Amino acid sequence: MTSHEVQRLRIVFAKRGSLVYISHLDLMRAWERALRRAGLPVAHTQGFNPRPRLLFAAALALGCSGRAEQLDLYLEQRIDLRSAASALLAQLPAGLDISSITEMDLTLPNLPAQVVAAEYRVTVEPAIQPAEFQQRIAALLGSTTLPRRRERPDGVRSYDLRPLVQELRFAGQEHGLQVLSTRLQADGQATGRPDELMAELGMARQVRSIERVRIVLKEEA
Amino acid sequence: MTLPPSLERVLTGVSKPGRYTGGEWNSVSKSWDSTRVKVALAYPDSYEVGMSNLGMGILYELLNDQAGVLAERVYAPWVDMERALREAGLPLCSLETRHPLRCFDLLGFSLQYELNYTNVLTMLDLAGIPLQANQRDESWPVILAGGSCTYNPEPMADFVDLFVVGEGEEVLPELVRLYDRMRSAPGYSRTGFLRAAAAIGGVYVPSLYRVSYCGDGTVAAIDPLEPGVPARVDKRIVPVLPPAPSRPVVPFLEVVHDRVAVEIMRGCSRGCRFCQAGMVYRPVRERPVEQVLDAVERQLAHTGHEEVSLVSLSSTDYTLIRPLLTALLDQHAGKRVSVSLPSLRTDAFSVELAQLLQRTRKSGLTFAPEAGSERLRAVINKGVTADDLLATAEAAFRSGWQRIKLYFMIGLPTETDDDVLAIAGLVREVQALGRRVLGGRARLNVSVSTFIPKPHTPFQWAAMCPPGQVAARQAMLQRELHLRGVDLSWSDEATSRLEGALSRGDRRLGAVIQRAWELGARFDAWAEWFRPELWASAFAQAGLDPQFYTRRERAREEVLPWSHLSAGLSAGFLWEEYSRARLGEAGDNCRESCAGCGVRETFDLSACPVTLGADGRAE
């Protein structure tokens, strides 16, 4: 149950700089506080402990930057997009930058439910030659299964990484670093993690940065 | 703000890296090159604890509001971060402009808890700053410390150049101005600055005093080394509370107190004899209602917080508490802002106030009878009766609270097993009451801490209860309170012992602190890191016995290690209170009649306590 929602805004934003080091939960709180400071009429969930109606497309792992993160914001009063944008811009901490605000149809499915994949750009220290890098990529793509085990707070989980990797390619060099580009499944079934992929390539220790460049939604896929 | 790659590499391997990245809303980064005096405010505990400290926030805004001064923050790096910084060869830096701490002019530590002392050493060492004050010359920052521990700062005297005793709102700007003037003049010397600083009220420069000892280890005398150095340093106060901050830094991480906090009153009139805060933060000064409302309004607008806490040592005692709460709720009703009121008295009025706040959000209710028997409550001057507690608990249960927290202490002076059994009796009565009103849903959280005698309180002469006896009494309560619906917690014995030794320690403990730190002591306030065996070795290697500090009853004539520092209380008052305590006589509440503590005379106050008239302004 939620309070009356009259408008739904999709905000596309970047998370970078020092904000790369705050968790998803911290990010949610930072947005909630910025929205309160901006005085936007945010709708709230009902019940004993009302929460602002703010839905993020997908959590971003701590340590990764995001170029085009997305969230849907539900309002209890209609506002003009231009004034919403300027009120919000004045209240966002450095490291959060809005690139667009678009009004969405209230009847569309929830944003997280629409996510199917995410594209990442990973930079690595050049510990191996590009040719070998490409060989490793080819070998990974050529395999049929890539069983991995991942430690989680509730125990060790076994899964197959291979079907989660939809695209993977060596994207050249930049500022002395090698660049890798990938698209990983990210939906209700399973979410591929770029750090796991790098570990599978034997390059976990060489990773310098991971950037999520795009969140792919169902209708775009 | 982009981070240097060397730091980024370190951050990827540590827990909660957001502790070290800064950039929070309302943090202030002034121009480094064009600002004359650079102050680092350091808190020797985790970011989450340090960011919850009200005093740090007050001083941060106050200094940054001044032209020519910048203040930046730094907290103790967690154990994994300390290791990572050392491995990477990186110095400890401020959060704002990321300058190494050694580049600051003044480095001020907030000392609120004795078990943070080793973290001060970690921070100095990670900054590359020599630990011992006498090893530092003009090229190093001046190391300051303030906070409640400076009422007996002697254990930290080896490491700190200058202590601020009392309230820092005026002293710190005075020190900054003095430094600014002297530093730019020819012939600046560190000792010259410290000597000049010692003339400022509330400033204590330990290197200007010599401590001599008797054969039995007690202090023989504490003498100024030079003429012009005051024989006694009185704490500083601000006679009128300055306006509360407007723009508190909003952390990204979830910190201990993650809300707007406005101080409504400083000082407490109750005179509980065990309570150091109640003694040293005198006189009582209430903040006018309109100032509180104004501060809440500003802070909410500038932070985006949705919770407000009205802070004081005893909020129910604030004269106009009900009008204040009513006005606050009226202003913020419908804005989803909740208000909380810590430190409630044990009475029906408090439950009524808590009920008023229920409109916003249900929070827990905590009451602190402190002792189990009427007799012992008179000894500690906690004027609560069993009937008060039962009536309050009943009102709370009937108003819909299912869980009540009760605070008690054991190991109090004159305590017997019967007094401890009385705690169990009282808890049983409250539990039975809860079950009568609510049935099986009623729950009690009972927290039993170990009493630690503190300087500048009537119990500063008292011996701590022997460890074996504390353990036996804890066991007694565990046995007696093994009841459905009652959760019992108690404080760690070894932790209390160490706090006891450090709080009433002398200068010789500097060697113990440094040795414990060298042996690996870190974050001693955290159960997961506290290693009492390191401290035992450190005491032994320094040839000192911790029991000398904890277990010994002091004579009235003894020169206490803090006797050259004054909280403004008259010498006779504390002893008189101690004597009355031992006779089981309750003391005074200074809102009703002046207890004669001496603070009014020390500071030549025209009004004491400073309370509010019906118009909400100070009378």
pLDDT digits (tens, 9 = 90+) for A62-93: 999 999 999 999 999 999 999 989 999 999 99
- On whether both B82 and B155 belong to a single domain, the answer is yes
Burial of residue B246 (number of CB atoms within 10 Å: 0-12, 13-18, 19+): middle
Question: Hey, where are the domains in chain A?
Answer: 7-108, 114-220
The minimum CA-CA distance between B164 and chain A, rounded to whole Å, is: 34
Q: What is the pLDDT of residue B1?
A: 59
Answer whether residue B43 is part of any domain. Answer: yes
Answer whether residue B254 is part of any domain. Answer: no
Which of B491, B545, B538, B503 is CA-nearest to residue B519?
B538
- On whether both B19 and B147 belong to a single domain, the answer is yes
In sign, the C-alpha dihedral spanning A14, A18, A23, A28 is: negative
- On whether both B265 and B302 belong to a single domain, the answer is yes
Best CATH choice for the domain A114-220 from the list 1.10.1740.10, 3.50.50.60, 1.10.10.10, 3.30.2350.10: 3.30.2350.10
- On whether both B154 and B14 belong to a single domain, the answer is yes
B361 Ramachandran zone, left/alpha/beta (phi>0; psi -120 to 50): beta
Residue at a domain's end among B199, B219, B234: B234
- B307-311/B338-340 β-pairing: parallel
Cβ distance of A63 and B12 shorter than 8 Å: yes
The minimum CA-CA distance between B8 and chain A, rounded to whole Å, is: 9
Q: What is the pLDDT of residue A50?
A: 84
Contacts of B18 in chain A (CB under 8 A): 21-23, 26
Which of B489, B463, B461, B485 is CA-nearest to residue B562?
B461
Listed in sequence order, the residues at least 6 apart from B435 whose beta carbon sits closer than 8 Å to its beta carbon are B442, B485
The arithmetic mean of pLDDT across residues B114-141, rounded, is 98
Answer whether residue B445 is part of any domain. Answer: yes
Q: What is the pLDDT of residue B394?
A: 92
Cβ-contact B246, B264 below 8 angstroms: no
The minimum CA-CA distance between B115 and chain A, rounded to whole Å, is: 28
- On whether both B321 and B399 belong to a single domain, the answer is yes
Contacts of A18 in chain B (CB under 8 A): 1-3, 21-23
Enter the pTM of the model.
0.95
pLDDT digits (tens, 9 = 90+) for A16-28: 999 999 999 999 9
Taking an 8 Å Cβ-Cβ cutoff, which residues of chain A contact chain B? Answer: 17-19, 21-23, 25-27, 29-30, 32-37, 44, 48-50, 62-63, 91, 93-95, 208
Cβ distance of A21 and B17 shorter than 8 Å: yes
- On whether both B198 and B300 belong to a single domain, the answer is no
Q: What is the pLDDT of residue B362?
A: 62
Residue at a domain's end among B219, B234, B249: B234
Q: Over 60: is that where the pLDDT of A32 sits?
A: yes
Q: Over 50: is that where the pLDDT of A1 sits?
A: no
Contacts of A44 in chain B (CB under 8 A): 336
- On whether both B285 and B425 belong to a single domain, the answer is yes
The arithmetic mean of pLDDT across residues B478-505, rounded, is 96
pLDDT digits (tens, 9 = 90+) for B569-608: 998 999 999 999 999 999 989 999 998 999 999 999 998 9
The arithmetic mean of pLDDT across residues B233-260, rounded, is 95
The arithmetic mean of pLDDT across residues B461-488, rounded, is 95
- Across chain B, what does the average pLDDT equal? 95
Q: What is the pLDDT of residue A2?
A: 55
Q: What is the pLDDT of residue B569?
A: 96
DSSP H helical segments within B446-584, as ranges?
467-480, 493-503, 509-519, 532-541, 546-550, 571-582
pLDDT digits (tens, 9 = 90+) for B338-347: 888 887 888 8
Q: Over 90: is that where the pLDDT of A3 sits?
A: no
- On whether both B345 and B388 belong to a single domain, the answer is yes
- On whether both B315 and B265 belong to a single domain, the answer is yes
C-alpha separations of A48 from A45, A51, B325, B358 in Å:
9, 10, 21, 11
| Chains A–B, number of C-beta pairs less than 8 Å apart | 69
Which of B203, B170, B197 is CA-nearest to residue B63?
B170
- B361 is in which domain, residue-wise? 260-450+570-602
- On whether both B333 and B391 belong to a single domain, the answer is yes
- Start-to-end CA distance of chain A, whole Å, equals 31
Q: Over 60: is that where the pLDDT of B482 sits?
A: yes
Q: How many domains does chain B have?
A: 2
What would you report as the CA-atom Rg of chain A, rounded to the nearest whole angstrom? 19
Cβ-contact B287, B241 below 8 angstroms: yes
Cβ distance of A22 and B302 shorter than 8 Å: no
The minimum CA-CA distance between A113 and chain B, rounded to whole Å, is: 27
Distance CA B154, CA B152 (A): 6
Cβ distance of A62 and B17 shorter than 8 Å: yes
Contacts of B4 in chain A (CB under 8 A): none
Q: What is the pLDDT of residue B51?
A: 97
The arithmetic mean of pLDDT across residues A140-165, rounded, is 92
Which of B1, B253, B304 is the closest to A94 by Cβ?
A: B1
Chain A residue with minimal CA distance to B297? A37
pLDDT digits (tens, 9 = 90+) for B192-244: 999 999 999 999 999 999 999 999 999 999 999 999 999 999 999 999 999 99
Cβ distance of B17 and A34 shorter than 8 Å: no
Cβ distance of A22 and B361 shorter than 8 Å: no
- On whether both B220 and B306 belong to a single domain, the answer is no
C-alpha separations of B349 from B24, B398, B438, B589 in Å:
39, 14, 21, 18
- On whether both B332 and B423 belong to a single domain, the answer is yes
> What is the CATH classification number for the domain harbouring B440?
3.80.30.20
Burial of residue B103 (number of CB atoms within 10 Å: 0-12, 13-18, 19+): middle
Segment holding B43, helix H or strand E? strand B37-43
Cβ distance of A94 and B23 shorter than 8 Å: yes
> What is the CATH classification number for the domain harbouring B17?
3.40.50.280
pLDDT digits (tens, 9 = 90+) for B369-392: 999 999 999 999 998 999 999 999
DSSP H helical segments within B481-570, as ranges?
493-503, 509-519, 532-541, 546-550
Chain A residue with minimal CA distance to B298? A37
Q: What is the pLDDT of residue B332?
A: 87
Domain A7-108: assigned CATH number: 3.30.70.580
Listed in sequence order, the residues at least 6 apart from B172 whose beta carbon sits closer than 8 Å to its beta carbon are B59, B62, B63, B108, B146, B164
Q: Over 50: is that where the pLDDT of B33 sits?
A: yes
Q: What is the pLDDT of residue B343?
A: 77
Backbone φ and ψ for B440, nearest 5 degrees, come out as -70, -10
In sign, the C-alpha dihedral spanning B547, B113, B69, B233 is: negative
Q: Over 70: is that where the pLDDT of B361 sits?
A: no
The minimum CA-CA distance between A210 and chain B, rounded to whole Å, is: 11
DSSP state, residue B559: B
